[in-house]
Amino acid sequence: MSRLVYVLNGPNLNLLGKRQPEIYGAETLADVERDCRAAAAELGVEIAFRQSNREYELIDWIHEARDKAGGIVINPAAFTHTSVALLDALNAFDGPVIEVHISQVHKREEFRHRSFVSMRADAVIAGCGTQGYPLALRRMARLLDAKKAQP
């Protein structure tokens, strides 16, 4: 079981820190990556941290993860609420999947309450700000440990 975790970020998250800071906070995606790398080092996992505004690129990375990664942490951003294609790609991945949202999507517009990705995700973290990412990695490490312990 690979200890490599893909941390994937969807559209507009490259603007984190500049985009609606009252909702998404002041931290940039580079800050999130730094926090994830610190958590990963502590937890003994490796990460591949990526962001794309293109649905197909996220899908290609999920396909790549099939051969390379033990788990996926994903903030699909707006694709959460629209993309059956991302759900299908995640359904073709065997390891644990954790969905992260910086904001508490269930407190927001009704269209954000529905997530296609949640139909596959083993856990969902929403509303913890950017802290949700290291929290997701902590849980992911536990899930990968549990798999390793299986005969």
Indicate which residues carry an active-site annotation. 24, 101
Choose the binding region for ligand DQA from 33-41, 49-57, 58-66, 77-85 (rule: CB under 6 A): 77-85
**From residue 111 to residue 140, what is the string marking binding to ligand DQA with x (rule CB under 6 A)?**
-x----------------------------
Say if residue 110 is exposed, middle or buried (CB neighbours under 10 Å; 0-12, 13-18, 19+).
Answer: exposed
Tell me the helix, strand and coil percentages in the chain, rounded to 5. Answer: 50, 15, 30
Query: Among 1, 2, 4, 12, which residue interacts with ligand DQA (rule: CB under 6 A)?
Result: 12
Q: How far, in Å, are 19, 35, 72, 85, 127 from residue 24 at the CA level?
A: 7, 16, 22, 25, 9
Query: Among 39, 49, 72, 75, which residue interacts with ligand DQA (rule: CB under 6 A)?
Result: 75
Task: Give how many residues touch ligand DQA by CB under 6 A.
Answer: 10
Query: Among 78, 85, 128, 135, which residue interacts with ligand DQA (rule: CB under 6 A)?
Result: 78
Helices (H) and strands (E) in the chain, counts: 5, 5
Q: Does 77 bind ligand DQA (CB under 6 A)?
A: yes
Q: Does 40 bind ligand DQA (CB under 6 A)?
A: no
**CA 90 to chain CA mean position, Å:** 11
What are the backbone angles phi and psi of residue 100, rounded to the nearest 5°?
-120, 135
Q: Give least dist CB 61 to ligand DQA, A.
A: 17
Residues that bind ligand DQA (CB under 6 A): 12, 75, 77-78, 80, 101-103, 105, 112
